[in-house]
Amino acid sequence: MEFTGDGHADLVLLVDWREPILYPNLGSEGMGNPMPLSGARGWWSCLEVADLDMDGDKDLVLGNWGANSKFQPSPERPVSMAVKDFDGNRKSDIVMSWYAPLDTVSAPFAVRSDITKQMPHLLKDNVQHDTYAQKTYQTLFSADERAGALEYEANFLQSAILWNDGSIPMTLTPLPWQAQLAYVYGIAIGDVNCDGNQDIWLGGNFYGLVPQSGRMGSSKGALLMGEGNRSFRYVSPEEAGISVDGQVRDAHFIMAKDGSFTLLVARNDAPVVAFKSKIQ
């Protein structure tokens, strides 16, 4: 996207456990220093660029984990991850911690049987079920064991829009709750009812999760109709005539001159599906 107004296309980068980053294109001088577009650190999956509020500049629609899971982080209660070879077997270990709904401290997310299978040395430390239930990352590993670990935090898991008001940081707005039912992997943008406002379709789902996380399969797609003033109206799959099963991995609108559109949806381990319609 072109953000800085100098005529050069700039680079926006999404990285898990990081905030969205803008790398300004300085032309012959190369890429400038990274600029965080928001303080929201997510588990980002995709983005699309469009002038959603029709003010002449580009906004960003960001796909994220969603709000339909155990993980409900905030800046005060983030999900965290530490990466290091904790047991000295020359393989990186991952310790993810979270705040359970009623907890006031962050605790390892993995159950005892899983974390001791990954790091058997914890069995030698006689970490029993009752004591493990009281452990935090800081008490499970000593300061020496934690030294040098790569540590990350996620504090915002909702799919959202970053509005371009001409300054950084951009204005972050979560999408309606119907767009938060599952991990979003596909975003399509177009004016599907020819009212001059940009509309958004989002699809996703993710089946490859451990049992204690639960399978993400609730989404059949979410159509958000632009109504101006940066507001959107949700249209159900039944009303829209667009219902997609499976794990969506990409989506794209093809707009026709007569006002109709075709929505192409790519899915994991399933055929591409196409929906042709005209919504009034």
Q: Go through the chain and tell me how many residues it has.
A: 280
Asked if 158 and 174 count as a contact pair (C-beta separation under 8 A), the reply is yes
> What pLDDT is attached to residue 47?
98
| Residues 92-126 pLDDT 10s | 999 999 999 999 999 999 999 999 999 998 887 76
**pTM (predicted TM-score):** 0.93
> What pLDDT is attached to residue 124?
78
| Residues 22-41 pLDDT 10s | 999 988 788 889 999 999 99
Paired tokens of 11 = 């680079």
| Spans of the chain, pLDDT less than 70 | 4, 126, 278-280
> What pLDDT is attached to residue 278?
55
> What pLDDT is attached to residue 230?
98
> What pLDDT is attached to residue 3?
76
> What pLDDT is attached to residue 116?
93
Paired tokens of 131 = 């004591």
DSSP H helices, the chain, are 112-118, 121-124, 129-132, 137-140, 143-146, 237-240
Domain ranges in the chain are 11-69+156-276, 79-154
- List, as one string, the DSSP characters of 10-25: PEEE--TTB--EEE-B
CA distances from 48 to 12, 129, 207, 240, 250 (A): 10, 45, 23, 21, 11
HSE at residue 155, side-chain half, CA atoms within 13 A, is 13
H or E segment at 66? none
Paired tokens of 68 = 């339909």
Strand spans (E) along 125-212: 150-154, 160-163, 171-174, 184-190, 199-204
Q: Tell me how far apart the alpha carbons of residues 126 and 145 are, in angstroms, rounded to a whole number.
A: 17
Asked if 232 and 226 count as a contact pair (C-beta separation under 8 A), the reply is yes
Q: Please name which of 84, 202, 105 lies closest in space to residue 148, comparing C-alpha atoms.
A: 84
Cα-trace Rg, the chain: 22
